[in-house]
Structure 1
Amino acid sequence: MNRSTGRKPRAVRMSVELPLWRALAGYRILTLGYALALFLLNRREYAHPLGAALYMGVLTVWTLATWNRVTSAERCTKPFLAADLTIALTGILLTAAVDTPERIAGGSATLPSIWAGGAVLGLAIKSGWRWAAVGSTLVAVANLAERGGPARDTVHNVVLVWVSSIAIGYIVEVARASERTLARALRIEAATRERERLARDIHDSVLQVLAMVQRRGAALGGEAAELGRLAGEQEIALRTLVAGGLVRQRRSAEEEAQDVLRAPAVPADAPPEGPCDLRALLSPYAGSAVTLSAPGTPVLLEAARAAELAAAVGAALDNVDRHAGPDARAWVLVEDEPDEVIVTVRDDGPGIPEGRLADAEREGRMGVALSIRGRLRDLGGSAELMSVPGQGTEVELRIPRGSA
């Protein structure tokens, strides 16, 4: 509230259309003056000057009484524009009844003259180029009917009104789309700044406390170590959240299997549900023992392909949990290339002995063969596994962006 006046400040909405509406209001007043001047100069030459004077009086009263209706989009309603266009068309057609055939054949101006263009321009600004085309076509038909045929000067004026009104209508539609895009960009920028501010505050307070609890808990051992581990997991989850990712609780294999059994059957050829951010599917795997590194922008894939790739990453991390030991750490790196998406899963475990994978397949344990390589093969991608005993294991998953 303004303390000096005691009034609340008004929010002013900037619009690219506002100057056009003001220009239209000025155009109607100026063209009314022009039409009146033409009538007064030629009033003795009309076949029925009284009828022409009556129409010019109605046109003057209508224009002056409704001048503020065209100052904004809210006031300039479609019924008003329809009435405005009706008055313009009536004046054009009435010219043939009140003027002499000689003057009409000589190319004299109609009663509303160029005032009729204001009605068409109002349609263009209000409803875009399509309605402008309809309005200008009606004005063109009325002018040709008044003239009795397609004379050169009449066709010239008709084409000029038709092209200019459609061009203005198209420009208005483009300006509206640009204004909406700008408003959306400003909202996103404001939200990003607010998120950055919150991230700074969280980093300076909550994240530092959680990191300290993790370090002290690990040093003290016992129950404090478990508390430190939980604090470390929450630190990673919160850090991912403030960085713009989506954090979901990681679930056990049994819970996922129960969800699959309860879910309705989906045909194998069901179309994907649109693009999906791969980061959101991989974020549940991040924790105290798993570090996720992904681009700052969304990594978009078809929903079905992204889900399969995330499942392959989960299978690789399950192998780390089972075979690399409880103290092993894993790193997941996501690379967003123009033609493909590459996800690398690396751990610091003891590695896989030579021939171990072939023995596992013969024994019926098909985790790597089916859960990882099989998924990527079905998607048209590839899975490369590199392991050196004593130096950990690295799984590189590549999936093309196109359909398999």
Structure 2
Amino acid sequence: MGFEVPLWRTAAVFRVAALAYAAVLVTANFAHYRHPLGGWIVLAVMAAWTACAVYAYADSGRRGWPLLVTDLSVAAGCLLATAWVDAPDRIAGGSPTLPTVWVAAAVLTWAVSGGKGRGAVAALVISVAGLGVHKLAGSAPTQSTLNGIVLVFLAGVIVGHGARLAVDAEARLARAIELEAATRERERLARRIHDSVLQVLALVQRRGSEFGGPAAELGRLAGEQESALRALIGSHGGPADSTGEADLRVLLTAHASMTVTVATPASSVPLPVRTAREIEAAVLAALDNVRRHCGEGARAWVLLERDDDGVTVSVRDDGPGMSADRLTTAEADGRLGVAQSIRGRIRDLGGAVSVTSVPGEGTEIEMRVPAGVG
């Protein structure tokens, strides 16, 4: 049962209780009406519509515009009927309208169905109808009428706001349950694979390195497959979710290999999909630079860090390093790997890139992207 269901049930209970209250007032005052029979007719219409509305609103598939508009129209019509049924002097004296608080049920259903904005619209319609009663009776609105208008508006806005909060909370709870289930499944899968396939691949890698020759190549391939399989386990269910976010940790871990070590936080690092993909592309460009300029056997380390101000990704290698003016020279010669593929992407995200390199001691590229970038 969703959080919204109790709100619809509460509105139905209010409608029935308000009908009972209106029946008591009509019974007590019908002798003073200008058209007593009209009072009973309006009460009968209210009773019939209450039964129809309680039944119709019980099914979420029927809570569309036709039912909502009909509900509000019946409420406004019963309210306006007061000007014909009751005596003008009684209306001017502040006597209660025929439906009294029963008309607020329509405002509540509008608020529950669409939030505070829709609740305010319904309250406005009922308020205009209430003022119309005095207009038709030729009298000025009384203080009780104005008080009723204020209360109807407050009910529509507050109930509507609470209903939207309940729906949003239900969606977040469902997402949390989904993520928890996915995490448990991923952990179960990881345990089973770790106890079998990963251990075999690790054994092949270790023995291949010991034997050398063709076995060494087999060991290297086994090691790469082990890294790829670990990345697959980490990304089980896909990096992107229904909220339009992607886990940067999963995206980067997928690129770990025998020569690339990826270190990430223990918890997820959710970012807007575009931001996460651009950061991933910049990291891949940095790793491509390592392969092209440092050789296939060069090692690289990718470190992902997160804090309240944003995320930082650094890519470090054990290559020969470079001189301080090498990047400037490369950009002047039209080689824009770092300038465009890395700096350009991060700059477009509002971030910054710093490159630290010492000849003979490798190179480190640090990419910093502030929080809230979408």
TM-score by length of 2: 0.80
* Richer in helix (by share): 2
Note if 1:180 corresponds to 2:171: yes
Q: How does 1:18-97 map to 2 (within 5 A)?
A: 18-97=5-84
Per the TM alignment, residue 381 of structure 1 is displaced from its structure 2 partner at its CA by 2.6
Matching residue of 1:315: 289
Note if 1:386 corresponds to 2:358: yes
Per the TM alignment, residue 277 of structure 1 is displaced from its structure 2 partner at its CA by 6.7
SS in 1 for 2:95: coil
Unaligned runs of 5+ in 1: 1-13, 248-273
Per the TM alignment, residue 130 of structure 1 is displaced from its structure 2 partner at its CA by 2.0
How far apart are the structure 2 equivalents of 1:90 and 1:182? 41
* RMSD (CA atoms): 3.5
Matching residue of 2:90: 103
Per the TM alignment, residue 342 of structure 1 is displaced from its structure 2 partner at its CA by 4.2
Per the TM alignment, residue 365 of structure 1 is displaced from its structure 2 partner at its CA by 12
The Cα offsets for residues 283-326 of structure 1, whole Å up to 9 and x where unpaired, read as: 5753223323233433854755653453133212433316xxx5
Residue identity opposite 2:2 in structure 1? S
TM-score by length of 1: 0.75
Note if 1:154 corresponds to 2:126: no
- Alignment partner for residue 111 of structure 2, among 104, 124, 140? 124
Change in Cα spacing, 1:45 to 1:246, as seen in structure 2 (3 Å) is closer
Change in Cα spacing, 1:71 to 1:299, as seen in structure 2 (3 Å) is closer
Check conservation: 2:115, 2:160, Cα contact below 8 A: yes
Per the TM alignment, residue 33 of structure 1 is displaced from its structure 2 partner at its CA by 1.4
Residue identity opposite 2:132 in structure 1? A
Higher relative contact order (CA 8 A, sep 6+): 2
Matching residue of 1:397: 365
How far apart are the structure 2 equivalents of 1:164 and 1:364? 67
Check conservation: 1:136, 1:161, Cα contact below 8 A: yes
Residue identity opposite 1:292 in structure 2? V
Note if 1:244 corresponds to 2:214: no
Per the TM alignment, residue 31 of structure 1 is displaced from its structure 2 partner at its CA by 1.4
Matching residue of 2:316: 345
The more displaced of 331-340 and 379-388 is: 331-340
Check conservation: 1:24, 1:118, Cα contact below 8 A: yes
Per the TM alignment, residue 69 of structure 1 is displaced from its structure 2 partner at its CA by 2.5
Check conservation: 2:186, 2:236, Cα contact below 8 A: no
Change in Cα spacing, 1:28 to 1:201, as seen in structure 2 (3 Å) is same
Note if 1:213 corresponds to 2:200: no
Check conservation: 1:51, 1:98, Cα contact below 8 A: yes
The more displaced of 377-386 and 212-221 is: 377-386
Unaligned runs of 5+ in 2: 239-243
The Cα offsets for residues 188-216 of structure 1, whole Å up to 9 and x where unpaired, read as: 11111111110111111110000111122
Check conservation: 1:275, 1:303, Cα contact below 8 A: no
Per the TM alignment, residue 377 of structure 1 is displaced from its structure 2 partner at its CA by 6.5
Change in Cα spacing, 1:233 to 1:161, as seen in structure 2 (3 Å) is same
Per the TM alignment, residue 218 of structure 1 is displaced from its structure 2 partner at its CA by 2.1
Matching residue of 2:241: none
Change in Cα spacing, 1:140 to 1:377, as seen in structure 2 (3 Å) is closer
Residue identity opposite 1:202 in structure 2? I
Larger Rg: 1
Matching residue of 1:4: none
How far apart are the structure 1 equivalents of 2:31 and 2:303? 89
How far apart are the structure 1 equivalents of 2:219 and 2:229? 15
Change in Cα spacing, 1:329 to 1:91, as seen in structure 2 (3 Å) is closer
Note if 1:288 corresponds to 2:275: no
Note if 1:139 corresponds to 2:126: yes
Change in Cα spacing, 1:366 to 1:207, as seen in structure 2 (3 Å) is farther
How far apart are the structure 2 equivalents of 1:86 and 1:168? 20
Per the TM alignment, residue 280 of structure 1 is displaced from its structure 2 partner at its CA by 6.7
